Chain A
Amino acid sequence: MKQSRRRTTLKRQSRRDFLVSAGRGAIAAGAFGAYPLRGWAADPVNIGGLYPVTGSFAQIGQACVNAAKLAVEMVNEAGGIKSLGGAKLNLIISDVQSEPTVTRTETDRLISSNKLSAIHGCYASALTLIASEVAERAKVPLLTGSSSDLLNKGRTYTFTPFARASQFANAQLQMSRLVSDKPKVAVIFENTAFGTATSNGLKEQAPAEGVEIVLFEPYSAGFADAGPLLNKVKASGADMLFSVSYLNDLILIVRTVKQIGLKVGINGGSGGFVVPDFYKNVGALAEGLQGVAHWNHDSDANAQKVNAEYKKRYGEFLFEYGGGLIAQTFMIADALERAQSADPQKVRETLSTLDVSSGYAAMAPGGKVKFGPDGKNIYGHPVGVQWQHGDLASIFPKEDARAPLMKS
């Protein structure tokens, strides 16, 4: 990696003062045997990937890196960027360690020490918000699957091809009507920024969707026992439970619902609920539980193909963020192709005019990607999913459904 970085700097210099340093360039060419004297176009194009490979998001961060690598391999095997003489993508990963402060310095370092055409990252919205600020200042385009609506405010270099947080709440409420015509919903949420923001969205939109919220209860994350909390859910008479929780609490909630014998549908939202690990921990109890995702692996033939390849390599299905990441890489490739340049500002221009409805770049619920002025995919919406036979099946809305609702 160090060598390729030096090579890029040399190349940049020789291009800038070509005549003056022609001689020096030749020496450089000699020093790096493979350096093509004539065909600079075949130089690899650097794209940065910012993911939390260590720290609390480590597990999912590592899975993101796996998906990002697979995506780059796919682009390169298909001939790279043809308008740049078949240039290969070169993925440079940086570990943001699940820490906001580290994210700031790592993003800075990644951008200043490499000539990047685009960046993707960082899985967790809290981290992506910081990285996107840094990228904005450095004028490097950033693509992300993070759902925070703040990413679409006051930014011109950030692109969000998938559903926004505000849309997730709406989809969840509409899904509760699959279970009953006049759903009575209990919302329990951890009292953190994530839990509060998500549940407030649910509360605000519920009346318009004809959903009655019978219990709205914050709880302290990381409890020893879910019993008392679910005692309240039972008393509320709800027929649907929305749990805005991280994995640990969710495992206890699902198990306790079974123990009580509570007859209630569960919608676990997105994030930790729609990853293979959830099923590994909860097992058959997960069957029939609903959630929402910004991407699912059964959406079209391309998604099924990458899912099969990912499964072959890593032994589990391609999770929402990883699948979206593969689509993002192809969006970057498409933008590079049309920009005919690795220059990040030109890539931003072509990303802003991206309009795809086929191929890997269009793997998203609805199958179309086109960015509005706020960097939001104008066709973006979430897909409702259900755990069926150890796998996630798309069940909502009708046009995205790939399997019927499993009654539990």
Chain B
Amino acid sequence: MLEIVAQAVINGLLIGGIYALVSIGVTLIFGVIKIVNFAQGEFVMIGMYISFFLFAYLGVDPIISLIVSMPVLFVAGVLIQHFLIRRVLGLNDLPQIFLTFALSLLILNLALMLLTANYRTVHTWYSDEALHISGLYIPVAKLIAFVLAMALSAALWIFLHTTDLGKAMRAAAQKPEVAMLMGINPNRVFCVALGIALALAGAAGSLLMPFYPAYPMVGQVFTLMAFVAVVLGTLGNVVGALIASLMMGVAESLGIQFVGADSGLIVVFLMLLLTLAVRPSGLAGGRAR
């Protein structure tokens, strides 16, 4: 019994690490730019395909291809902020919602057209391997993904708290008007924020590739959980999103184990509703950090 619970928690934490990379991106964008990026899952998908093609044609290990997918998506984020999102900021919410929603549909359908709906998988030496420790197993590919996801989250936290640009970003998130008065160029900050958020999505894609098949609709598997984690962990709060993602991974896994495999999400949403009933603005209690 204890073994089953322990295994369920391990499974939950490992997949929670991937949810975290997606939800941290969403929450960073919301916190800094104040828009909801509905296309985040599609950028995960792009990250997966970058890694897939680098593996298929050049034999590059998907984990190594992080150093390609992250910069590519960072640049994409900067360009999207500068040429698209900047134009609709300051208008009311609808154009912003439709902009990212349209972006999501555009990328999804382009992928369907150019890449077809086929599943693409990558097989590395560690794809099917697992560490076996006293009756428990830890899949190697997921462990690598989890460790790197945590490392990237930590790097982001350090960036936000120690560098001038990071502090400017947090300032812009807390009080944009005051930040502007202090001489912070909002567009520059916004460009970097969107760049970082998309780079994290790209990282999630590359880290998924050794154990998850790529296909155009793949982003949707991860976006639902990412959005729940963003709300649960307080909108705009990076640490909150990270903790909420891990909690949700574990809740889902335990839900599948003890409620039913078609009702794992019941536990997740129950947890969300209970948390919101007690703390209406999420776990971190209304502080956007």
A interface, CB within 8 angstroms of B = 56, 58-59, 188, 191, 217-220, 222-225, 227-229, 231-232, 235, 247-248, 251-252, 255-256, 258-261, 277, 281-283, 285
Segment from B68-76, B89-97, B116-124 that makes contact with A: B116-124
- The answer, yes or no, to whether B212 is at the interface (CB within 8 Å) is yes
Of the listed residues B14, B119, B139, the one surrounded by the most CB atoms of chain A closer than 10 A to its CB is B119
CA gap between A343 and B256 in the complex, in Å: 57
Q: Which residues on B sit within 8 Å (CB–CB) of A282?
A: 121
A371 to chain B minimum Cβ distance, whole angstroms, is 35
Query: Which of A220, A248, A283 is close to B262, meaning CB atoms less than 8 Å apart?
Result: A220
Q: Are A281 and B256 in contact (CB under 8 A)?
A: no
Q: Which residues on A sit within 8 Å (CB–CB) of B256?
A: 219, 228-229, 231-232
| Besides A220-B262, A228-B256, A229-B256, 8 other A-B contacts (C-beta < 8 A) | A58-B117, A191-B262, A225-B14, A227-B253, A228-B261, A251-B213, A252-B211, A260-B137
CA gap between A248 and B7 in the complex, in Å: 23
Q: Which residues on A sit within 8 Å (CB–CB) of B7?
A: 227, 231
Report the 4 A-B pairs with minimum CB-CB distance, sorted nearest first.
A219-B261, A227-B11, A228-B256, A259-B130
User: How many positions in chain B have a CB within 8 Å of any CB in the partner chain?
Assistant: 40
B5 to chain A minimum Cβ distance, whole angstroms, is 10
Q: Are B18 and A224 in contact (CB under 8 A)?
A: yes
- The answer, yes or no, to whether B260 is at the interface (CB within 8 Å) is yes
CA gap between A252 and B142 in the complex, in Å: 13
Q: Are B261 and A56 in contact (CB under 8 A)?
A: no
* A-B pair number, CB within 8 angstroms: 95
Q: Which residues on B sit within 8 Å (CB–CB) of A229?
A: 256, 261
- The answer, yes or no, to whether B177 is at the interface (CB within 8 Å) is no
Q: Are B252 and A248 in contact (CB under 8 A)?
A: no
27 A-B pairs with CB atoms under 8 Å apart are A218-B261, A218-B262, A219-B256, A220-B261, A220-B265, A224-B212, A224-B222, A227-B11, A227-B139, A227-B253, A228-B11, A228-B253, A228-B257, A231-B4, A231-B256, A251-B119, A252-B211, A252-B212, A252-B213, A255-B211, A261-B130, A261-B132, A261-B137, A277-B118, A277-B119, A281-B121, A285-B128
- The answer, yes or no, to whether B195 is at the interface (CB within 8 Å) is no
A390 to chain B minimum Cβ distance, whole angstroms, is 14
Closest partner residue, chain B, to A254 (CB atom):
B128
Q: Which residues on A sit within 8 Å (CB–CB) of B28?
A: none
Q: Are A231 and B257 in contact (CB under 8 A)?
A: yes
Closest partner residue, chain B, to A225 (CB atom):
B15
B254 to chain A minimum Cβ distance, whole angstroms, is 8
Of the listed residues A220, A248, A259, A285, the one surrounded by the most CB atoms of chain B closer than 10 A to its CB is A259
Closest partner residue, chain B, to A219 (CB atom):
B261
CA gap between A227 and B146 in the complex, in Å: 15
- The answer, yes or no, to whether B221 is at the interface (CB within 8 Å) is yes
A124 to chain B minimum Cβ distance, whole angstroms, is 14
- The answer, yes or no, to whether B174 is at the interface (CB within 8 Å) is no
Closest partner residue, chain A, to B213 (CB atom):
A251
B51 to chain A minimum Cβ distance, whole angstroms, is 16
CA gap between A247 and B265 in the complex, in Å: 22
- The answer, yes or no, to whether B12 is at the interface (CB within 8 Å) is yes
CA gap between A131 and B260 in the complex, in Å: 36
B181-225: which residues lie under 8 A (CB-CB) from chain A?
Answer: 211-213, 215, 220-222, 225
Q: Are A59 and B117 in contact (CB under 8 A)?
A: yes
Closest partner residue, chain B, to A56 (CB atom):
B117
Q: Which residues on A sit within 8 Å (CB–CB) of B139?
A: 227, 256, 259
CA gap between A148 and B18 in the complex, in Å: 39
Q: Which residues on A sit within 8 Å (CB–CB) of B137?
A: 259-261
Q: Which residues on A sit within 8 Å (CB–CB) of B221?
A: 222-224
Query: Which of A218, A220, A227, A251 is close to B121, meaning CB atoms less than 8 Å apart?
Result: A251
Query: Which of A58, A217, A231, A235 is close to B116, meaning CB atoms less than 8 Å apart?
Result: A58
CA gap between A222 and B223 in the complex, in Å: 13
Q: Are A59 and B264 in contact (CB under 8 A)?
A: no
Closest partner residue, chain B, to A251 (CB atom):
B213
Q: Which residues on A sit within 8 Å (CB–CB) of B14?
A: 225, 227
CA gap between A248 and B116 in the complex, in Å: 15
A121 to chain B minimum Cβ distance, whole angstroms, is 20
B232-260: which residues lie under 8 A (CB-CB) from chain A?
Answer: 252-253, 256-257, 260
Closest partner residue, chain A, to B10 (CB atom):
A227
Closest partner residue, chain A, to B121 (CB atom):
A281
B252 to chain A minimum Cβ distance, whole angstroms, is 7
> Hey, what's the 0/1 contact readout for B1-30 against A, CB within 8 Å counting as 1?
000100110011011001100000000000
Q: Are A248 and B129 in contact (CB under 8 A)?
A: no
CA gap between A102 and B125 in the complex, in Å: 44
Q: A228-B256, A231-B257, A285-B128 are in contact. Are A219 and B11 (CB under 8 A)?
A: no
CA gap between A141 and B270 in the complex, in Å: 52
Q: Are A219 and B262 in contact (CB under 8 A)?
A: yes
